[in-house]
A and B are shown apart, each in its own frame.
Chain A
């Protein structure tokens, strides 16, 4: 191919997408010819992971600029795709539709929060941090406020938030690898980890950028294809997003007809752990305004404080490209997020509507237990029925499902070929891997650049710095995998905690660093330390039986943490002396898009 790689990007990824679609077609032909479901699953996961590994190898680099910020030449739209993959984790891909299915409106605060946060990213932070020219988020804090302590605290907050997040992602890659490759979870976690490291080890941010674009293409095809297919197959509408109003109102009708019968505690003991029944209305408002708004707000402020997202905007060629790129990121995220409620609707209706051939409510229990897909998913511990009232017929309150089943099992329930299930596994793997890569890289870069190079050994040569960065990458990856293998926490809960930790410690120090010239070092240190401590303290208090206050739960403790952070930062800043003239001038320069960045190209 002529010209450099960047100019050829549309062509390269065009061919890649075509190749992937061809692969899906070949697999479906192979299925017709009798290839087993297991082989198809292995082919999908192995083929896609091999492609990412090749991209990771081709992106290897020995330059600090390329390793930390992909040489700052990632075009706007491609950076948008990479950010979308970076952002949408195993939780978004596998768990989100399930959450909407079971909890309805109250859960959908996450949809609003995880998209609305990008408005804050675009308007308050990303363009200014891009102008600053930093390699990492603590790099900004350390230079703007000065001093090793502020830099170090930023690394601490970053590590706490990102590490909480990354164990959940490695857990997700392990779950998918163990199902697709049919190996025990404890080993599958390390298979997942090796796949993740293959993408980032050699090329750092450059490798991660180009694999994330490839992963986005896989995950969006894997999510949208089944949604459109199921909708058409059910006759619900050619374009589900605009045509499911009848289905939504039909679900409300059925809910009214069946009623939400509460099960006794004794009956619920029979239900396997992790499974839930339908107990909340699908489209009705079932949460108080504050419950909804506080969760959305926590997720929005968390979005603007999570370093693995912010550092994606350090890779654009210019400040204005950084702004536009946030818009593209959200557009690519929107494609998946707006489809999740549609998938939840289709999944729920196909199961509960007795007039549909797939509907199981109202059928006899023995009939349901004889269905093939019920047996498969019951064995996988994701579906369960029991005749609590002894009338021999399945009622709404007698049917239980795992959250993951909405994405994983709906294609099979709707009667789609197995090739779609293989595709969905590849998509889930792509989503979890891309997020894990972004997070591990964020932690390793912050420790290698900010702690090792800026604090411990400022004279270190580039080659040595990059060796340290890579060693840290492996160490952090293994630490994450080891904790993931212990399976202490659920995927979704720990993801939400990561947002709360990030906003408790970093939101106001970052925002005020740009928007309030008077903010100084002492204020930032107080803001980060007290914010993180009070947020974590609140979480521990509520977890150990505390009642909480103002309706702040363990999922929204960041609201309390960040409020403490704001007050501490403003009060301490005003009690101590204003930043010196050089710092004030630096803030002025950050606010102007043109001209040189504050930190040099190599720093």
Chain B
């Protein structure tokens, strides 16, 4: 397998992992919205309510930065990273 194919395989793996986490916070938890809202969540808000106000939103922010860092590491590993900083 060429270097390029290996790089793409790893990138695709990262994509699936990112989408799986995305799925949990955007869709998964809301399948059980009514049940989860009975539980008290962070700062004392009802749990599902908290996810819609802050939890899921914050998770997406963190997820994107995490994804960007992982992808940069993969690019560096195969020597595909761009020169210069941003």
Q: Point out residues on A near B: beta carbons under 8 Å.
A: 75-76, 105, 108-109, 111-113, 115-116, 118-120, 122-124, 127, 241-246, 248-249, 283-285, 287, 289, 292-293, 296-297, 300, 316-321, 323-324, 326-327, 330-331, 334, 337-338, 341-342, 588, 591-594
Contacts and interface: CB of A to CB of B under 8 A. Distances in A.
A502 B26 CA distance: 20
Most chain B CB neighbours (cut-off 10 Å) among A115, A297, A334? A115
Interface string B38-74: 0000011110110111101110110111011001100
B27 A330 contact: no
Interface residues on B, range: 35 or more
A110 to B, nearest CB: 10
Contact of A243 (B19, B43, B48, B83): B43
Main secondary structure of the interface of B (DSSP, over half): helix
B33 A592 contact: no
Residue among A75, A283, A334 having the largest count of chain B Cβ atoms under 10 Å: A283
Nearest to B65: A327
B18 A123 contact: yes
Q: Which of B11, B30, B31, B71 gathers most chain A CB within 10 Å?
A: B30
A319 B22 contact: no
A55 B8 CA distance: 42
B20 to A, nearest CB: 11
Which among B19, B27, B81 has the greatest number of chain A C-beta atoms within 10 A? B27
Given A285-B48, A323-B71, A338 B86 contact: no
Given A248-B46, A341-B53, A591-B8, A293 B64 contact: no
A108 B81 contact: no
Given A111-B57, A591-B11, A324 B86 contact: yes
B57 A293 contact: no
27 contacts: A108-B52, A111-B53, A112-B30, A115-B57, A116-B60, A119-B26, A119-B60, A122-B64, A127-B71, A245-B45, A248-B49, A283-B49, A296-B26, A296-B27, A297-B26, A317-B84, A323-B71, A323-B72, A324-B68, A330-B60, A330-B61, A338-B54, A338-B58, A594-B75, A594-B79, A594-B81, A594-B83
Given A122-B64, A318-B82, A593-B81, A108 B53 contact: yes
Interface of B: 4, 7-8, 11, 15, 18-19, 22, 25-27, 30-34, 37, 43-46, 48-49, 51-54, 56-58, 60-61, 63-65, 67-68, 71-72, 75, 79-84, 86
A319 B80 CA distance: 11
B75 A118 contact: no
A119 B18 contact: yes
B71 A292 contact: no
A115 B60 contact: yes
Contacts of A316: 86
A593 B86 CA distance: 14
A323 B49 CA distance: 29
A112 B26 contact: yes
Which of B26, B43, B72 has the most A CB atoms < 10 Å from its CB? B26
B57 to A, nearest CB: 5
Contacts of A317: 84, 86
B66 to A, nearest CB: 9
A245 B34 CA distance: 18
Contacts of A320: 68, 71-72, 75, 81-82, 86
A323 B67 contact: yes
B86 to A, nearest CB: 4
B56 A116 contact: yes
Contact of A289 (B33, B51, B72, B82): B33
Given A124-B15, A284-B37, A116 B58 contact: no
B77 to A, nearest CB: 12
B86 A321 contact: yes
A105 B86 contact: no
Given A112-B52, A243-B43, A297 B86 contact: no
B65 A324 contact: yes
Given A115-B57, A592-B7, A594-B80, A242 B63 contact: no
Contacts of A113: 26
Contacts of A245: 43-45
